[in-house]
Chains A and B, each alone.
Chain A
């Protein structure tokens, strides 16, 4: 089945450590996105990529980094510079076409910093 796979589902990290969240899609979508969810807030955009080897900062990019070396993969690294990394992270993708198109989401990764 086509879809978006995020891993790991749960991750614990000590302060000062970098951690990478994986996002893989087999939908052949061009655009991919990373969102963060915190209690009482809507999803907020961290980074997005519209094409391989290109990506753009979203609204809350500080302390995060991404890469897009392959069309199907868009990993997110939460660096030690991220002040409050404990959150739920969602990856999404969208096919090329109308900019109004819907997003397709993974099931998310929950990161807890101890």
Chain B
């Protein structure tokens, strides 16, 4: 089992603040890096799948970057809203069916 680390484990921000989280993963055997958003009592939903070094993806106020050579990805949320409160999971794909998940970053946005 490969080690995928996410930081911080949790954070609280005020509505309107921008924030970012980190996902660290092995820099070898890279296939893809996934980001998922998991709201309480719902199913995790994919935000981004990133495959190329230097990839930058954006969905609304949320964006992500990828550095496969040094083994990290950042997720940014601009102008956080209460509906952004969720656990954000990253997952490193090392092969066809080998998807290794981090423990997640739990974000709470305070109105």
Contact = CB atoms under 8 A, between A and B. Distances in A.
A binds B: yes
A63 interface: no
A104 B104 CA distance: 17
B34 A59 contact: no
Contacts of A50: 97
Interface stretch (A11-19, A69-77, A78-86, A95-103): A95-103
A90 B49 contact: no
A3 to B, nearest CB: 8
B97 A43 contact: no
Interface stretch (B36-44, B60-68, B78-86): B36-44
Contacts, number: 59
Contact of A100 (B32, B43, B103): B32
Nearest to B101: A42
Interface residues of A, number: 25
- Tier of interface size on chain B: 20 to 34
Interface string B43-62: 11110010100000000000
A100 B99 CA distance: 9
Contacts of A42: 4, 89, 91, 100-104
A105 interface: yes
B74 interface: no
A62 interface: no
Given A31-B97, A56-B97, A99-B31, A43 B89 contact: yes
A33 to B, nearest CB: 8
A107 B46 contact: no
A48 interface: yes
B44 to A, nearest CB: 5
18 contacts: A40-B103, A42-B102, A42-B104, A45-B97, A45-B98, A45-B99, A59-B1, A99-B31, A99-B93, A100-B32, A100-B49, A100-B51, A100-B93, A102-B34, A102-B49, A104-B43, A104-B46, A106-B43
